[in-house]
């Protein structure tokens, strides 16, 4: 149903646009020649009319309003699409600024179209002040979330804290790339290929990690345990070499290894190394370095122990 109204107000195919234009021209010609006067008088009679305050509504006014709204939204949709394509073609403007400009233009265009429709229909805005309080309260409660998401989207575009192409992580664990910031939601493409629509309000009220906000580099951490009795200096040198040999490992900051704990079953090290572009992924370089460490440990007969416990029986004779 929604697609039907969208295609009616904003047809895409040129055939649909041509047919809609012909219908409008035909109605305008019949009205100018007076063929529609009997229909207008019939629909505008008191039998099909009622009053709300000083405003008189009739079936003719309703039909006229529908035709004008369709025509106006059609023209406004075409104008908005032309301006949107024009703004998107300007390479000097960032994508976030383009989205902000497009939203501002659409708001102005549709607001002016709304005022124009009221003027054509002869509705005096001052006569609607009787209902403005109740309608305003109803709209305020009913559209609270929509208004909040819309304003949050504008704030995001102004702050530029989350832009198209950024790699972000939300508080609920969703990780992916920002593909579009809309009026109500932000579309995120996850690593699994799913597209998640996140309300804009969540980016304002919740914690958001932007992996590419000021730079795209990131640190990869690897925890390794070796058996007691191992040459610890050799272990530290080998795991650093494994990181340096990877093509995506950055020279600055240089990779480092730290002895972090004498645990129950192993001596634990932590390896830190940095990669340049987090958008290319962190799992692959981490996996490659782990494989390199495994091979180096095998060449030097370094054991990676598994958890074990020694059991001492105070009275073994009691088991017999």
- What DSSP line would sit under 33-66, residue for residue? HTTTHHHHHHHTSGGGEEEETTEEEEHHHHHHHH
Mean pLDDT in residue range 294-314: 84
pLDDT for the residue 290: 96
**pLDDT tens digits, 142-173:** 567 777 777 787 788 777 788 888 899 998 88
Least confident of 63-77, 197-211, 281-295: 63-77
pLDDT for the residue 113: 74
- Rounded CA-CA distance 15/200 in Å is 37
pLDDT for the residue 3: 47
- Rounded CA-CA distance 243/238 in Å is 9
Contact 80, 109 (CB under 8 A): yes
Mean pLDDT in residue range 209-218: 88
DSSP secondary structure of 56-100: EEEHHHHHHHHHHHHHHHHHHHHHHHHHHHHHHT-TTS-HHHHHH
Contacts of 79 (CB under 8 A, 6+ apart): 109
Domains with residue ranges and CATH for the chain: 2-142 (no CATH), 163-210 (2.30.30.60), 218-299 (3.30.70.100)
Q: Which two tokens stand for residue 194?
A: 């799913």
Contacts of 42 (CB under 8 A, 6+ apart): 48
- Rounded CA-CA distance 243/260 in Å is 18
pLDDT above 70 covers what percent of the chain?
69
pLDDT for the residue 320: 60
- Rounded CA-CA distance 188/175 in Å is 8
Least confident of 59-63, 185-189, 259-263: 59-63
The helix (H) or strand (E) run that includes residue 277 is none
pLDDT for the residue 5: 45
pLDDT for the residue 4: 47
Look at residues 235, 232, 217, 237 and name the one whose alpha carbon lies nearest to residue 285. Answer: 217
Model confidence at 15, pLDDT cuts 50, 70, 90, reads low
Residue 120 has pLDDT above 50, yes or no: yes
pLDDT for the residue 104: 72
Residue 6 has pLDDT above 50, yes or no: no
- Rounded CA-CA distance 203/158 in Å is 13
User: Mean pLDDT in the chain?
Assistant: 78
Residue 238 has pLDDT above 90, yes or no: yes
pTM of this prediction exceeds 0.95? no
Residue 92 or 89, more confident:
89
pLDDT for the residue 85: 76
Q: Which two tokens stand for residue 117?
A: 């429709």
Residue 176 has pLDDT above 80, yes or no: yes
Residue 250 has pLDDT above 50, yes or no: yes
Task: Report the DSSP beta bridge partners of residue 51.
Answer: 56
CA distances for 127 relative to 134, 171, 315, angstroms: 14, 48, 99
- Rounded CA-CA distance 293/239 in Å is 6
pLDDT for the residue 2: 44
């Amino acid at each position: 149903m929604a697609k039907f109204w969208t295609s009616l107000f904003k047809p895409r195919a040129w055939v649909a646009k041509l047919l809609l234009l012909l219908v409008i021209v035909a109605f305008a010609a019949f009205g100018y020649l007076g063929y529609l006067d009997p229909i207008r008088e019939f629909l505008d009679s008191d039998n099909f009319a009622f009053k709300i305050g000083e405003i008189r509504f009739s079936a003719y006014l309703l039909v006229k309003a529908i035709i004008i709204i369709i025509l106006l939204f059609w023209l406004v949709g075409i104008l908005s699409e032309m301006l949107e394509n024009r703004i998107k073609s300007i390479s000097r403007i960032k994508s976030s600024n383009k989205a902000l400009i497009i939203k501002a233009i659409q708001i102005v265009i549709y607001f002016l179209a709304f005022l124009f429709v009221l003027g054509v229909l002869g509705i005096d805005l001052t006569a609607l002040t009787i209902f403005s309080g109740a309608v305003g309260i109803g709209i305020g409660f009913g559209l609270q979330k929509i208004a909040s998401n819309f304003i949050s989207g504008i704030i995001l575009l102004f702050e530029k804290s989350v832009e198209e192409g950024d790699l972000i992580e939300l508080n609920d664990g969703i990780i992916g790339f920002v593909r579009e910031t809309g009026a109500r939601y932000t579309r995120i493409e996850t690593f699994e290929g799913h597209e998640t629509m996140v309300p804009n309000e969540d980016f304002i009220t919740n914690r958001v990690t932007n992996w590419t906000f000021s730079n795209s580099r990131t640190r990869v951490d690897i925890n390794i345990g070796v058996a007691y009795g191992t040459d610890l200096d050799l272990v530290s040198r080998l795991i650093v070499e494994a990181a340096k040999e990877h093509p995506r490992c950055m020279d600055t900051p240089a990779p480092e290894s730290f002895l972090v704990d004498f645990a129950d079953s192993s001596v634990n090290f932590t390896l830190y190394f940095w990669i340049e572009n987090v958008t290319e992924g962190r799992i692959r370089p981490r996996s490659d370095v782990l494989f390199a460490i495994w091979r180096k440990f095998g060449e030097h007969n370094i054991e990676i122990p598994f958890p074990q416990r020694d059991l001492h029986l105070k009275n073994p004779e009691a088991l017999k």
